[in-house]
Structure 1
Amino acid sequence: MKVLFLTISTITDIKQPGIYTDLLRQFIENNHSVSIITAKQKSEGGKTELIDEENLRILRVRTGNITKTKPIEKAISQMLLENQYIEAIKEFFKNEKFDIVLYATPPITFEKVIRYVKKRDLAKSYLLLKDIFPQNAVDLNLIKKNGPIYHFFRRKERKLYQVSDYIGCMSQKNIDYLLSHNSVNPTRVEINPNSIDVNNLAYSSSNRVGKKKKLFRKKYGILDSQTIYIYGGNLGKPQGLDFFLEFLTNSNKKKSFFVIVGSGTESKKVTNFISENRLTNVLFLDRVSRDEYNEIEMCSDVGLVFLDRRFSIPNIPSRILGYMEKGLPVIAATDTSTDLKEMIESGGFGRWSEHGNIGDFSDNIELLYDPETRDIMSRKSYQFLKEHFRVQNSYEIIMKHFN
């Protein structure tokens, strides 16, 4: 079958690991032809380009700036996406006939593109629901509930659900929220969680990097007595980092060391806070290669996840998958809408507290000082990943509708 994948994520190499690239490789490995349309943002420079390989084509469409930019510019760029993608399809894929249109949120502004391809090619469509917009922006007070921007994107959201033949949600609470707030036929909705192509070597390596861990500790002056907690990923409003920064000022500097790796709108706030408060047990790394980041994860002891407590939409951050692949226990501080708490507790691979509750978060941090506790949770973390988040399962969930 011929699969068209629509995304704003930067994809230039299908071999790079990630929740979307891993899934698309499954299609190729099962002898399907894959075409990817992705955004080439204005900040990157250059024109629209087509990368053509056997059973894979990547069309990078020049767009406005969508990520790491101001909300107004982001909103305008998303509004223009549909016409830009449709024109690119007409120019580069005019003689193609697709069987499946696959896409993920964000963004929610692909409805016209999907409708165009479905009508032209009589294709079926599958939505991987990774985020619920514009409600997430309302939760964070980025847009007004009854304002014109909200109503514009809410209409786009409803149309996206309507044009989707099937919708894969990350969790049961994700499904419940979708159905309770939208007129969607329940028979078209199913659980299809974030998933990856599990690298067995990543976990085995994490248990064999004693020498690497020692070198890592020596390089950054980390004491043998300190447990290394890593946060890797976006540093933005959705993470609600203020509470974490407040916690860091009173963290046990003899027993804990925190590594923050990432970038985003809150990066400068984080770096300034660390400097102003002279936090000697916190390391901030802005730009590192993917390989270097994987090494840092392997040398860490515990993975951290944050979601602002104001969120009313259930969300499961894909960041946990990388931690679990390395066998790291997970400490999460999130809103109460997500079922990440139930997932962590049922799997026994970490601890959860409500975002903003510094007392409970501190207790969870202290619990993981114990090497035996970490070892038990480490094994459970990797096992839960293999049982629930393998990309082969996600592929089969999608393909059962098309076989």
Structure 2
Amino acid sequence: GISQMLLEYQYIEAIKEYFSNEKFDMVLYATPPITFEKVIRYVKKRDLAKSYLLLKDIFPQNAVDLNLIKNNGPIYHFFRRKEKKLYQISDYIGCMSPKNVEYLLNHNSIDPIKVEINPNSIELNNLEYRNSNEIDNRKKQFRNKYRILDEQTIFIYGGNLGKPQGVDFLLEFLKKTNKEKSFFVIVGSGTEAKKVSNFVMDNHLTNVLFLNRVSRDEYNEIEVCSDVGLIFLDRRFSIPNIPSRLLGYMEKGLPVIAATDRSTDLKEMIESGGFGKWSEHGDVDELADNIELLYNSELRRKMGDKSYEFLKDHFHVQNSYNIIMKHFS
């Protein structure tokens, strides 16, 4: 909290020191954090710049949902004021999904004209991740390295391991999986990482590989060699959220299994695109059914193809660029 409060003053001093002779036409920024309001206000006033917010998460409400701070307490009100000022100073606000837009407008006094959908996006590599001898060889090497059987489907979870992911549900589920048919690779760090590591060791889960920290290239290779991508979000969330790790899975042509809250429109996205299965976070039986479905290699292939096509159509970085630049062209 102290670091968050000091952040904007440190940025302003750095801008004064290193960019005193620079003029900026636009300030582009994302949440979190929400404590950039004074920085943006300073640059806008100095350079007559326009400002564009990419709304990736809604704080402090997400912390309230997880009982990390008290609703209507002093800490909440402090950050809520910061949040409102950030929205006020933003000329344009890009939200990740339709429900994101709806939530923002329903809970804030914001001119709807400056709010639009600008989803997470990615710059696609030219490498074809599917249907090539090179990729098949890399997948075989990966399986040999970690002694993963040919008949086991590899499910990957990559990213933050913290309160927002509802890790306890993931651990509960791992104990009940079919060890002959499934292998889980969990790659990530965060406040719950140690809990995950200890759980895997204490329960002798031979079909679970936990890797705490790997390089970007190593993680990319693990995604390439996996069969299905996993996404978890705590069921208590009242704010719609679309995790960015979804795009990495889709880029590799992986089908997606998501277990999330009901507030997000990730379910609608997955079902409309036909590239995976969704269940409510906490429902072990439905998640198990979805896992069972994806043991089918032909279904994985079809969903994987749709996953990559959906990514190209909706989440290419060129789309985000066009959405932003139409306001400044």
TM-score (norm 2): 0.98
1:232-271 equivalences under 5 Å are: 232-271=158-197
Partners of 2:87 and 2:64 in 1: how far apart? 19
CA 1:89–1:327 in 2, change beyond 3 Å: closer, same or farther?
same
User: 1:260 corresponds to which letter in structure 2?
Assistant: I
User: 1:276 corresponds to which letter in structure 2?
Assistant: D
The match for 1:369 is 295
Are residue 122 (structure 1) and residue 33 (structure 2) matched? Answer: no
Are residue 283 (structure 1) and residue 209 (structure 2) matched? Answer: yes
Mark the runs of 5 or more structure 2 residues left unpaired by the alignment: none
Q: State the SS of the aligned residue for 2:196.
A: helix
1:2-401 equivalences under 5 Å are: 75-204=1-130, 208-401=134-327
Q: State the SS of the aligned residue for 1:201.
A: coil
Moved more, 172-181 or 90-99: 90-99
TM-score (norm 1): 0.81
CA 1:77–1:206 in 2, change beyond 3 Å: closer, same or farther?
farther
The match for 1:7 is none
> How far apart are 1:205 and its partner, in Å?
7.0
CA 1:206–1:109 in 2, change beyond 3 Å: closer, same or farther?
farther
1:129-160 per-residue CA deviation (whole Å, 9 max, x = no partner) reads 00000000000000000111000000000000
Preserved CA contact (<8 Å) 1:205 1:298: no
> How far apart are 1:203 and its partner, in Å?
2.8
> How far apart are 1:111 and its partner, in Å?
0.4
Partners of 1:204 and 1:352 in 2: how far apart? 24
Q: State the SS of the aligned residue for 1:360.
A: helix
CA 1:103–1:206 in 2, change beyond 3 Å: closer, same or farther?
farther
Q: State the SS of the aligned residue for 1:380.
A: helix
Partners of 1:399 and 1:386 in 2: how far apart? 20
Which one has the bigger strand percentage?
1
The match for 1:60 is none
> How far apart are 1:107 and its partner, in Å?
0.3
> How far apart are 1:204 and its partner, in Å?
4.1
> How far apart are 1:102 and its partner, in Å?
0.5
Partners of 1:208 and 1:366 in 2: how far apart? 28
Q: State the SS of the aligned residue for 1:228.
A: strand
> How far apart are 1:259 and its partner, in Å?
0.2
Preserved CA contact (<8 Å) 1:206 1:299: no
User: 1:170 corresponds to which letter in structure 2?
Assistant: M
> How far apart are 1:200 and its partner, in Å?
3.1
CA 1:381–1:91 in 2, change beyond 3 Å: closer, same or farther?
same
Mark the runs of 5 or more structure 1 residues left unpaired by the alignment: 1-74
CA 1:87–1:263 in 2, change beyond 3 Å: closer, same or farther?
same
> How far apart are 1:97 and its partner, in Å?
1.1
1:202-233 per-residue CA deviation (whole Å, 9 max, x = no partner) reads 53477741111111111111111100000010
Q: State the SS of the aligned residue for 2:127.
A: helix
Q: State the SS of the aligned residue for 2:238.
A: coil
Q: State the SS of the aligned residue for 2:204.
A: coil
Partners of 2:133 and 2:313 in 1: how far apart? 20
Partners of 2:230 and 2:274 in 1: how far apart? 15
User: 1:80 corresponds to which letter in structure 2?
Assistant: L
Partners of 1:186 and 1:207 in 2: how far apart? 50
CA 1:233–1:206 in 2, change beyond 3 Å: closer, same or farther?
farther
* RMSD between superposed Cα atoms in Å: 1.0
Identity percentage of aligned residues: 80
Partners of 1:202 and 1:334 in 2: how far apart? 30
> How far apart are 1:292 and its partner, in Å?
1.1
User: 2:45 corresponds to which letter in structure 1?
Assistant: K
1:243-301 per-residue CA deviation (whole Å, 9 max, x = no partner) reads 11011111000000000011111010001100111100000011211111111111100
Partners of 1:240 and 1:206 in 2: how far apart? 36
1:345-390 per-residue CA deviation (whole Å, 9 max, x = no partner) reads 0000000000010010000000000001001001000000000000
